[in-house]
Structure 1
Amino acid sequence: MSQFKSAEEAEAAGKYVRKVRSFVKREGRLTKGQAAAIERYWPKMGLELEQGRLDLAQVFSNSNPVTFEIGFGMGYSLVTMAQQAPERNFIGVEVHEPGIGACLMAAGDAGVDNLRVFNEDAVLVLEHCIADAALDRVQIFFPDPWHKKRHHKRRIIQPEFIEKLVVKLQRGGILHLATDWQNYAEHMLEVLNNNPKLKNLSASDDYVERPSNRPKTKFEQRGERKGHGVWDLMFEVL
């Protein structure tokens, strides 16, 4: 920003300026393998806020539809999806650095080249890097349920956030959510049903069966063995 006299001047020229914010990345402890994967694969697969609004066709060198996943954890299911759908492009956003390393390691081992990742807050990525109507699909699987009632306001699925996602999705695009907390599933359903720009794809106007393109995570399989339920929601942008 040295050529600008102020942050305001830089922003007026279309340059991204990092602001102080309450969000703090979860750094965690990297394994040697994760650190090596970041060093090796980040130059090709990593995306930065400072790049500003992305031309996704240029990022992937093709015009394939883009799936955008928020909070991919260690990334194993995201890598599997990218590997099984080479006709699609995938962007994952995660704030946990060991998860970034694990995802890049798995992608490298699998030879996946249709995946890019952000180590950032999804709200900032959407605001600064993703153009309106640029995404074909957005998926959020097993977000933190904040199960105590007094913490429900911290849940990521809120009307304002869903509106931000809808704007970034193309008409006919899909918003796919999944949770293993029934109370959160009911909250998600209420929020999505109240958005007039979304249509529930469930035949029963509530939840759908797990689509075949969403791999079961180890966490999910462990929960099922204990009798825990999982709720998938799929809505289409009108």
Structure 2
Amino acid sequence: MTQPPENHPPALPDQPDAAATPAQGMVHRKTIKSYVLRTGRTTSGQTRALAELGGKFLQPYRPGAFEPSAAFGRTAPLILEIGFGMGEATAHIASVRPDDNFLCCEVHEPGVGALLKRIGEQQLHNIRILRHDAVEVIDHMLQPGTLQGVHIFFPDPWHKKRHNKRRLVQAPLISRLATRLAPGGYLHCATDWQPYAEQMLEVLGAEPLLANTADSYATRPDYRPLTKFENRGLRLGHGVWDIVFRRK
């Protein structure tokens, strides 16, 4: 597939954001970010959702220990999602897993507005959104062992070989995510680009704190829905790969 699916997460930009603090330990030529800023028009419905629901469901970026019980008003397993695009899959997963809390990072305003709109329409209460770089959220807000799961669905594949270094799923990020997972917690990645799937499998397989839940690629878990884009691609014979590892 050559176009991003509806729940397409952010990827890595060519240039670092001068206003942002580089994440410690992410050693690459340029500052690693979890997104690229994309253009897109925010609809009136998304704008209304931002105004009406943002105060309840948007979380501020504040370095220091994140308190899930304060943010969600309850104690429940915490799942981190890195990039949710327009929020279609996120809202579905939250609806079928009401006993879990979902902390979702996305900087694209139309996507944030779209997910807030879905939250209102579906009366969801177990989602909180951080409009901030997920790498900095991981580094400065999430304590070791606090996550029960991580979702990274359809990150930008950066198809050209010379751009592969911009891919989100690389060893430094996976290493820090592994430390944030509680024992038994899972890391679920999905992609529709086979070379990226192979890289994901290699990177996650090399992380000593993680173990594969399958011999190779995993069967798609029931909670992850097929998007319209994904269904269209499957009809055309394109593949989709799920990779699920667990914290030892």
For 2:223, the equivalent position in structure 1 comes to: 213
- Using the alignment, how far apart are the partners of 2:49 and 2:198 within structure 1? 38
Highest RCO, 1 vs 2 (Cα 8 Å, sep ≥ 6): 2
Give how far 1:127 is off: 1.4
Question: 2:62 aligns to what SS in structure 1?
Answer: helix
Runs of 5+ unmatched residues, structure 1:
1-17
| Superposition RMSD in Å | 1.5
Higher helix fraction (1 or 2): 1
Question: 1:172 aligns to what SS in structure 2?
Answer: strand
Range that drifts further, 60-69 or 133-142: 60-69
Alignment of 1:32 onto 2:44: yes
- Using the alignment, how far apart are the partners of 2:62 and 2:76 within structure 1? 24
Please tell me the residue identity of whatever aligns with 1:141.
F
Please tell me the residue identity of whatever aligns with 1:166.
A
- Using the alignment, how far apart are the partners of 2:191 and 2:52 within structure 1? 33
For 1:101, the equivalent position in structure 2 comes to: 113
Corresponding residue to 2:243 among 220, 233, 238: 233
For 1:183, the equivalent position in structure 2 comes to: 195
Please tell me the residue identity of whatever aligns with 2:187.
L
For 1:75, the equivalent position in structure 2 comes to: 87
Mapped contact 1:146–1:154 kept (Cα < 8 A): yes
Larger Rg: 1
TM value normalised by structure 1: 0.88
Please tell me the residue identity of whatever aligns with 1:211.
P
Q: 1:139-190 CA distances to partner (integer Å, 9 max, x unpaired)?
A: 1000000010000000000000101111111111000000011100000000
Give how far 1:85 is off: 1.0
Mapped contact 1:53–1:131 kept (Cα < 8 A): yes
For 1:13, the equivalent position in structure 2 comes to: none
- Using the alignment, how far apart are the partners of 1:217 and 1:51 within structure 2? 34
For 1:48-87, what aligned pairs fall within 5 Å after superposition?
48-50=60-62, 52-87=64-99
Alignment of 1:138 onto 2:147: no
Corresponding residue to 2:211 among 182, 189, 199: 199
Give how far 1:27 is off: 5.7
Please tell me the residue identity of whatever aligns with 1:97.
E
Taking a change above 3 Å as real, the CA distance of residues 20 and 87 of structure 1, as seen in their structure-2 partners, is closer
The sequence identity of aligned pairs, in percent, is: 46
Range that drifts further, 97-106 or 53-62: 53-62
Taking a change above 3 Å as real, the CA distance of residues 130 and 192 of structure 1, as seen in their structure-2 partners, is same
